[in-house]
Amino acid sequence: MSSNFGDKLVIAITSSVLFDLTESDRVYREQGLAAYAKHQIERENEILEPGEAFPLVEKLLRINENLGGDPRVEVILLSRNSADTGLRVFNSIEHYKLNITRAAFSGGESPYRYVSAFGCHLFLSSHGDDVRSALANGVAAATLLPSSKARRDDDELRFAFDGDAVIFSDESEKIFKQQGLKAFTENEKASARTPMTAGPFKNFLGALHSLQAEFEASHCPIRTALVTARSAPAHERVVMTLREWKIRIDESLFLGGLEKGEFLRAYGADVFFDDQQRHCASASSHVSTGHVPHGIANE
């Protein structure tokens, strides 16, 4: 991973999640690339409406204002546009006064290959194939789903994560899927003091933890939560693993298989990451949700 940004938290997003490109995408699908390019160039001074990731990006960039001094969060724009057709995107960024200055326009090809070059901790996209490629290259990534949620209008940024196959590997989930709940529970009890191996979001969670440490606990603008289907006694291994990693989670919800949506709404998540489509579908009616296509549930 690149060290170009030192100890910054680096997030890569695509233009299709930062802004609402529904109409532009329709033109591309129905009329082709030439019509799309014409559509974008003719409207390059028409400001795009905010997309699914827009509130998240605003809050991320506001952290720099709270810290003062050198910025600690960097947001990178990745786009399948060319620089020519992407001018409308940058005009919209300038209009909303988003401090995003670095970008890669890949001219119709997948931009995911620049995620590692920029040293990104997280990649958010609406293209599932790009997300899978980023995950395969060791970068936390998620496909942001459309959401009907009401947005929280404050400065605090609340992340929520599923455990197995997201923060942790899917080693335990494989036992559950292949052998059932009893075998899973017995394995977790027997392995309670053995830390799990890292999942795709471990490094991102660690980077968030480091950024949180720069604030006083009572004035930290970032809050994290683990929202997992696990319950006692399988909770102990989670606690011991995070302790071994020296990573703090502010809130932990062990739901024992209950639907997660209402709990995520009560927590007030700005974004929730889960590997299972059915959990994502349930959550997306309450909060912004990123599907992490990783592990046995996505094979």
Mean pLDDT over 105-129 rounds to: 90
179 shares a domain with 138: no
Q: Which residues are catalytic?
A: 162
Q: Give CA–CA dist 158/60, Å, rounded.
A: 11
Q: In what order do the strands lie in the sheet with 289-291?
A: 102-105, 73-79, 9-14, 122-125, 140-144, 289-291, 271-274, 157-161, 222-228, 251-254
8 Å CB contact between 200 and 120: no
CB 159 within 8 A of CB 224: yes
Whether 118 is in a domain gets the answer yes
Of 197 and 110, the one with more pLDDT: 197
Mean pLDDT of 61-67: 87
Report CA dihedral (256, 262, 268, 269) to the nearest 10 degrees: 60
Q: Are residues 168 and 287 in the same domain?
A: yes
3-state secondary structure 186-212: HHHHHCCCCCCCECCCHHHHHHHHHHH
pLDDT at 152: 65
The domain total for the chain is 2
Do the domain assignments include residue 126?
Answer: yes
Q: Is position 4 within any domain? A: no
Q: With a cut of 50, say whether residue 2 has pLDDT above it.
A: no
* Packing angle of the helix pair 22-31, 33-42 (nearest 10 deg): 150
**Res 3: pLDDT:** 53
Q: What was the pLDDT predicted at 149?
A: 65
Provide the domain limits for residue 259: 157-298
Distance CA 156, CA 66 (A): 11
Does 243 lie in the same domain as 190? yes
Mean pLDDT of the chain: 91
Same domain as 280, residue 179: yes
Please report, for residues 63, 77, 243, the alpha-carbon distance to residue 66 in angstroms, rounded to integers and kept in the order given. Answer: 5, 22, 28
Flag the least confident range among 54-68, 162-176, 249-263.
Answer: 54-68
Torsional sign, CA 102, 106, 108, 110: negative
Tell me, yes or no, whether 120 lies in a domain. yes
Q: Clarify whether residues 174 and 135 are in a common domain.
A: no
Instruction: Output the furthest CA–CA distance in the chain (Å, rounded).
Output: 64
- Mean pLDDT score, 10-36: 88
Q: Which of 144, 167, 190 is the last residue of a domain?
A: 144
Specify if 288 maps to a domain: yes
Is 1 part of any domain? no
Each residue's pLDDT tens digit, 199-255: 999 999 999 999 999 888 888 999 999 999 999 899 999 999 999 999 999 999 999
φ/ψ region of 144 (left if φ > 0, alpha if ψ in -120 to 50, else beta) reads beta
Q: Which residues of 140-159 are buried (b: 16+ CB within 10 A; e: fewer)?
A: bbbbbbebebeeeeeeebbb
- 197 token code pair: 């191996």
Q: Are residues 177 and 289 in the same domain?
A: yes
- For residue range 31-62, list pLDDT tens digits in order: 887 888 888 889 999 999 999 999 999 999 99
Quickly count: other Cβ atoms within 10 Å of residue 2's Cβ.
12
What's the mean pLDDT in 142-163? 85
